[in-house]
Structure 1
């Protein structure tokens, strides 16, 4: 019994020594690590976690030191080699595996096809700049200015009543559709504005009796009704200046007369009309004076005027062209437009040789009149004189007029409607 008691007491003493040694080691480790943090302000759960963590770290360090000691002495013979327990740490391998998994997930997500949503998404509303309202205001001002300019052009054209002039010319001028359309086109373009860089110069040429003087009288009468008597000049050369010796004085008088007209027109903001009939009889001094007036190097008041010259210059070229090119196709083209348009360049060249005045003019040739046109002239004159327009009687009177030899089934009058008034007066 004494032996058992001694052995048990020895074992108790050994256990106490071992536990005391362990406690001493733990105290040493705590002293190395430093004083424990104060846990008075922490909750009980947090303090328990911290205590467990400290114990775990102390046990870990003790085992590592014991392993180093045993490894240094070579260890006991036949004893199994002790290994430290595997501890979970965030190694590079786990990080790389985690990154590879995340990259795979991203790749899989990128492979998915995304379809646009059917709903319309509106972008963020930006702030309006003050310059935007200025741009709107400027656009409105420009629009009003352009609209006002267009309205002023229409008002200026309406002042001259070109629609009424067109109706009059188409009703009373026969067989000259191309020349009438060209005349109206030039007048519309020129009269649409008041400020110009040169005057409008028109030169109408044709054989005897085709309606040149009649056309000049209609133009003068129409402009007298819209701009006044004082702004229209109808100048007959054989009546105003028949002798060549008086040509210098006639030129000075004509220049003074035109200067007074354009100054008056400038004050009234109107465009005057000057018609010169029988221009083939104009002397050199008159042509020189007119050429100086229509030149572009003149005061502004001389640039706002319409000059119309009526003559039979080039009538041989016109007659030859009409008789040699007459056909059914030519007749149909004549009804559609001006059949003498191709003759204009040659006619301009021959007129420029006569005087430089015609280089400033727009040439409008008038063609020969057919028998049907002569009959219309008789009907118009008989109606004006109060005679009953009997169709057989009109055909008889038209048959008494001289015609060129029939070509292509068309008969052209030699004298046009020149003898119509004389024959009607004999009735």
Structure 2
């Protein structure tokens, strides 16, 4: 280890341990002796620094496959199709040390069905710091790209931001929320980073993860779910093949999708279009019970039923699906518990 590195690590340890507050009453010779001992310790155990400060290393970034599966099974309700796709896609990608391209997932469905929640579950089971990791980056259309007149500037900034972060850590994750509100053409600016390139300007993007969240395509998903319900078929019979083609076409041809006529779809760079089904009454009850558990409260079926009854369902005559999914459950629990 170089002397400069030793000094930096030593200083970092002293600052983090509070040692500097106690050093004044200690003699200089003792302090120097302790510093020398610590420096010798760091020389022998160079990797100890990585256990205290988040780094782009396996100690901080590695998939907990069992944890992801357990979370999808116990915390995500009514989304058997999405759960299967997410688990297989993430497992396959993270277990490959030399993927051919980044993992690109596009999550679609009405509000409150679990898109943002699944993104956080993926992050929590890959990054030790979860969504707070410095290697997880979230973009929101209305916050980061609010002005249509600035689209060319946004394109340049977005390219630079992604390049800089992937250069810093190949296993970076980028989440784009509100894709249905994004200006058409903006997302095409990052197409090269999602393609089958070994390196671009010396940077490899093949180990990065890109997740797009959108309400676009929700209508076609709902129609399929409603057709199954009206036909007396079980919800769990719905498969990806029943939704994927109509979903991708709907997104590609929707001017408000953010993917309108995008080359990401045209060039098949999106690995999976993940449909999130509309939630039924029983799923809302599950969300309420889960919310109670998160608050450390005992399960109360009566409260869960009351919360579920308070929500609005559609179609009006049949009242099958929750209009807002589980989005307002927390505020309802504030009122009833």
TM-score surpassing 0.5?
Answer: yes
Displacement, 1:352? 2.8
Whether 1:246 and 2:150 are equivalent positions in the alignment is yes
Compared CA separation, residues 388 and 161, structure 1 to 2 (3 A): closer
Q: Which has the higher helix share?
A: 1
Alpha-carbon RMSD: 2.7
1:16-415 alignment, distance < 5 Å: 159-225=62-128, 229-266=133-170, 271-297=171-197, 299=199, 301-326=204-229, 330-331=233-234, 334-335=235-236, 338-353=238-253, 354=260, 355-358=262-265, 359-361=268-270, 362-405=272-315, 411-415=320-324
- TM-score scaled to structure 1, two decimals? 0.56
Number of residue pairs aligned between Structure 1 and Structure 2:
264
Higher relative contact order (CA 8 A, sep 6+): 2
Q: C-alpha offsets along residues 53-89 of structure 1, whole Å, 9 cap, x if unaligned?
A: xxxxxxxxxxxxxxxxxxxxxxxxxxxxxxxxxxxxx
Contact (CA 8 Å) 1:379, 1:389: kept in 2 or not? yes
Q: Partners of 1:420 and 1:374 in 2: how far apart? A: 8
Q: Partners of 2:320 and 2:247 in 1: how far apart? A: 24
Query: Where does structure 1 lack aligned partners over 5 or more consecutive residues?
Result: 1-154
Compared CA separation, residues 283 and 406, structure 1 to 2 (3 A): closer
Displacement, 1:185? 0.7
Query: Where does structure 2 lack aligned partners over 5 or more consecutive residues?
Result: 1-57, 254-259
Contact (CA 8 Å) 1:230, 1:261: kept in 2 or not? no
- TM-score scaled to structure 2, two decimals? 0.70
Displacement, 1:382? 2.6
Contact (CA 8 Å) 1:330, 1:339: kept in 2 or not? no
Contact (CA 8 Å) 1:220, 1:275: kept in 2 or not? no
Please identify the structure whose Cα radius of gyration is greater.
1
Determine which of 328, 333, 337 is the counterpart of 1:424. 333
SS in 1 for 2:211: strand
Q: Partners of 1:295 and 1:424 in 2: how far apart? A: 45
SS in 2 for 1:225: coil
Displacement, 1:310? 0.9
* Misfit runs of 4+, over 4 Å: none
Q: Partners of 1:312 and 1:413 in 2: how far apart? A: 15
